Amino acid sequence: MGNQSGRRRALAAVFVGAVLSGVAACGGSGDKGGNGSKGGEADDKPSASASAPEALTEAQLKAVSFTDGEKIGPYTASEFTLGAPLGEDYTAAPAVCQPLVSLAEGATAHDPAAEVNRELDVADEMAGIGIAVQLRSYAKGEAAAVMKALAAAGTQCTGGFVEERAIAKAKYLKVEPAKAPAFGDEAKAYRFTILDVKGKLKLYEYLTVVRSGSTTLSFRADFLGTKDIGAVPAEVMTAQWEKFEAGRKSGA
C-alpha cells in the first residue's frame, strides 16, 4: 500500500493550532457560494441533452482506473487505506472555493453518481511526491456543471482562502492557473501556495481536473516540504487518460 493518506495526515498536522486572520476574501458579495452554500451555484442547472452520456458505474470506473500495485514510471498505485481522501471533512471558507479543496459529495450542487480513488507514490520514499487520482461519474450534463463551478472557484479565489479540516485549518495564500493537458473535452489546472503553521514556510500543491463526457479525472499532487514540484507528473495523467480512453472505447 502507498503512504499518500499518511502524507496528507502529516501535512494536516503541520497546520494544527494555526491562527488564521486576515485571509483574503474569495470573490465579491454577489458570490452565490460564499454564504455557506455549496461550492456550485444553486441555479447552475445542467443541460438535459438526450445525447449526453450516461454516468459510469463504480464497477466501470474501477475497470478504467489504476489497479493496486500498478507501476507508472517511478510511481506505484494503490487504494487508499482509510477510505476516500479529501472527503466531507475538508471544506473551504468562503464556500465558493470548495471545488479547489475537493470535488467529493457536497462540494458542488452536483454530487457524483460514483467515484473511485487511487493514490500513487514512490515506494519507500516518505518525503517524495504523493498523487491522489480520483475518477468521478455524473448524471447527464452535471460533469460540465462541476467543471464550471471549479472554474468559478479558480477565478474568484485567486487571493487565497481557508481550508478547514476536522482538527486543523490551512491557509491558502494564492491560487494560480497552471498548464492543463490537451486531452479530454475540457481541463483545468491550478497551483496552490499554502502557508505553514509558523507563517514562514510556503508549501505548494497542484490540482488538475479533466472532463470526458460525464466523467471527471482529478489529479492532486503535493510534496511534504517546501519543494515546488512544478506540476502534476505528466506521465501519471497521460497513463490514466490512456487507460480510461481504452476502456471507454472497448465498452468497459
C-alpha cell of residue 18: 494555526
Question: How many angstroms from the chain centroid is the CA of residue 160?
Answer: 16
H or E element that contains 239: helix 234-250
Cβ contacts of 20 within 8 Å, gap of 6 or more: 162, 169, 171
The helix (H) or strand (E) run that includes residue 9 is: helix 4-14
Angle 204-158-35 (CA atoms, 0-180°, nearest 5)?
Answer: 115
What value does the CA radius of gyration of the chain take, rounded to a whole number of Å? 17
State which amino acid sits at residue 222. D
Give the model's pLDDT for residue 252: 61
pLDDT of residue 106: 86
Half-sphere exposure of residue 156: CA atoms within 13 angstroms, side-chain side: 28
Helix (H, G, I), strand (E, B) or coil at 166: coil
How many whole angstroms separate alpha carbon 252 and alpha carbon 249? 8
Distance of alpha carbon 39 from alpha carbon 213, whole angstroms: 21
**Alpha-carbon distance 8 to 31, whole Å?**
30
- Residue 33: left (phi > 0), alpha (psi -120 to 50), or beta? alpha
pLDDT given for residue 66 in this prediction: 97
**Would you write out the chain's pLDDT as a tens digit for each of its 252 residues?**
444 444 443 443 343 333 333 333 333 333 333 333 344 443 444 444 445 578 999 999 999 999 999 999 999 999 887 655 665 677 899 999 999 999 988 889 999 999 999 999 998 777 789 999 999 999 988 999 999 999 999 999 999 999 887 777 889 999 999 999 999 999 999 999 999 867 788 999 999 999 999 999 999 999 888 999 999 999 999 999 999 999 887 776
Q: How high is the pLDDT of residue 238?
A: 98
**How much is the pLDDT for 93?**
92
The DSSP annotation for 117-136 comes to EEEEE-TT-TTSEEEEEEEE
Question: CA–CA separation, 13 vs 247, rounded Å?
Answer: 39
Rounded to 5 degrees, what are φ and ψ at 204?
-130, 145
- Pairing mode of beta strands 161-164, 202-212: unpaired
> Torsion-angle region of residue 69: left (phi > 0), alpha (psi -120 to 50) or beta?
left
- What pLDDT, on the 0 to 100 scale, is given for residue 4? 42
Residue 222's closest CA among 149, 163, 144? 163
* pTM strictly above 0.95: no
Sequence length of the chain is 252
